[in-house]
Amino acid sequence: MPAELTSALWIIFFALSGLLIGSFLNVCIYRLPAGLTIVRGRSFCPNCRHDLAASDLIPVLSYLLLGRRCRYCAAPIAARYMWVELLTGSYYALSAALTRPGSFEPPIWMNTAFYPATDFYFALLLQVTSVLAFSSFLVWAMILYDQKKANAGVIIFSLISASLRILLQPERLFSHLVAGLAVLTLSAVGLLRQNADSSPVAGFGSRLSLPIMLVASLLWLLL
């Protein structure tokens, strides 16, 4: 198979995966601060609580085809659901384009363990850890943006996924420091929210957490 076609399929696969996962991230952003489970139960309309059918959950398309309203109660659907899906799909696609097989030199231990498919498996590890870190940071930032408190599970998962990404390429110190900026910002805003719920500083920081996370995540890929 030509290399160009392989790269295109690689990017398309992760772009579509990102759209689907973006839909799941919306579930996490809504349910986790409310103390609801994200592993059981069907998705439902937050207004009428009606269970949603599979046709209501197609990323981006369902939002547009339903006229931006719930099929069952006609309540408006917030545009942010679509934007989270598009943002996640776009980031997954960009990350896939930059980490496609052959883009980076694998570490020596992978040459021994995964030869002759070392390039593919290293690219896959880079991509998976990159998008996991981004996804968890996005959930964390959106929860703070909504001026709610992220639970410990979101924070721990974010730190673990980011640490795994760093371990794969420890030589990219500067880009990792940029990602660290996002972690520090989200942590600081989270502490402010915990200690001063009504503070205007905490509210302003919550609104800033999302753009700072997005910029830091983008720079982490590009630098």
On whether both 195 and 155 belong to a single domain, the answer is yes
Residue 191's pLDDT is what?
66
Helix (H) or strand (E) holding 190: helix 173-195
Does residue 105 sit in the same domain as residue 167? yes
Q: What is the pLDDT of residues 1-40, one digit of tens each?
A: 566 778 899 999 999 999 999 999 999 999 999 889 998 8
pLDDT at res. 127: 94
- Residue 55: exposure state from Cβ atoms within 10 A (0-12, 13-18, ≥19): exposed
d(Cα 17, Cα 212) in Å, to the nearest integer? Answer: 24
Q: Which helix (H) or strand (E) holds 157?
A: helix 152-168
Q: Is 68 left (phi over 0), alpha (psi -120 to 50) or beta?
A: left
Q: Total structural domains in the chain?
A: 2
DSSP annotation of 61: H
What proportion of the chain, given as a percentage, has pLDDT over 90? Answer: 45
* CA 29 from centre of chain: 11
Q: Look up tokens 């996924």; give the residue.
A: 161
For each successive 10 residues of the chain (223 residues), what is the average pLDDT? 78 96 95 90 91 93 94 94 96 94 81 75 92 93 86 89 88 80 74 59 65 81 76
Q: Are residues 127 and 59 in the same domain?
A: no
For 69, phi and psi rounded to 5 degrees? -135, 155
Whether residues 58 and 105 fall in one domain: no
**What pTM was estimated for this model as a whole?**
0.88
Do 99 and 130 contact (CB within 8 A), yes or no? yes
150 and 63 belong to one structural domain: no
pLDDT in the model for residue 144: 85
Residues written for the chain: 223
Same domain for 77 and 30: yes
| List of residues 6+ apart from 20 with CB closer than 8 A | 59
**Alpha carbon distance 78, 120 (integer Å):** 39
Query: Tell me, what's the pLDDT at 60?
Result: 95
The first and second tokens of residue 219, run together, are: 């720079």
Long-range contact set of residues 169-174: C-beta below 8 Å, sequence gap at least 24: 169/104, 169/126, 172/223, 174/223
Among 89, 122, 153, identify where a domain stops: 89
Whether the CA torsion 53, 59, 64, 70 is positive or negative: it is positive
Domain span at residue 19 reads 1-89
**DSSP per residue over 8-24, as a string?**
HHHHHHHHHHHHHHHHH
pLDDT computed for residue 105 by the predictor:
83
What is the residue-averaged pLDDT of the chain? 86
pLDDT digits (tens, 9 = 90+) for 82-106: 999 999 999 999 999 999 888 888 8
Question: Using CA atoms, how far apart are residues 117 and 95, in angstroms rounded to an integer?
Answer: 20
**Are 222 and 126 members of one domain?**
yes
Give the pLDDT of residue 197. Answer: 53
Residue 199 is predicted with a pLDDT of 58
